Amino acid sequence: MLRYTLMRLGIFVGCLVVVWGLVYSGIVPRGLGGSNGMWVVLLALVISAPISFVVLRGERDRASMKLVPKVERMKARFEAEAGQEDAVVDEAARTQQTS
């Protein structure tokens, strides 16, 4: 998971450098007023998202395969705890009815 995150961050930083260079050279228009920094970051985000989606598909699949067992264990534990809680509530209700 960390590897995927670092790869995604690397793609974003690469896009940020390229966009900054394009804005600095005047190929891409600057933002309005003092918004130039925000414009560069947002444009880099918009460009890096689809690149990451396509380029990191395999790495994303590997990361999700590592997460699936953890999620399944959490679901099983939650269901077991919910069953125990239901038993306690049912027992309390039966005790109240007999009193």
| pLDDT for res 33 | 67
pTM value is: 0.66
Structure tokens, 70: 């953890």
Upper half-sphere CA count for residue 98 (Cβ side, 13 Å): 6
14-65 pLDDT, tens digit each: 999 999 998 888 888 877 666 688 889 999 999 999 999 999 999 988 888 8
- Full DSSP string of 30-97: PPSTT-HHHHHHHHHHHHHHHHHHHHTHHHHHHHHHHHHHHHHHHHHHHHHHHHHHHHHHHHHHHHHH
Using pLDDT thresholds of 50, 70 and 90, give the confidence band for residue 99: low
Query: How do the domains of the chain map onto residue ranges?
Result: 1-55, 65-99
| pLDDT for res 17 | 95
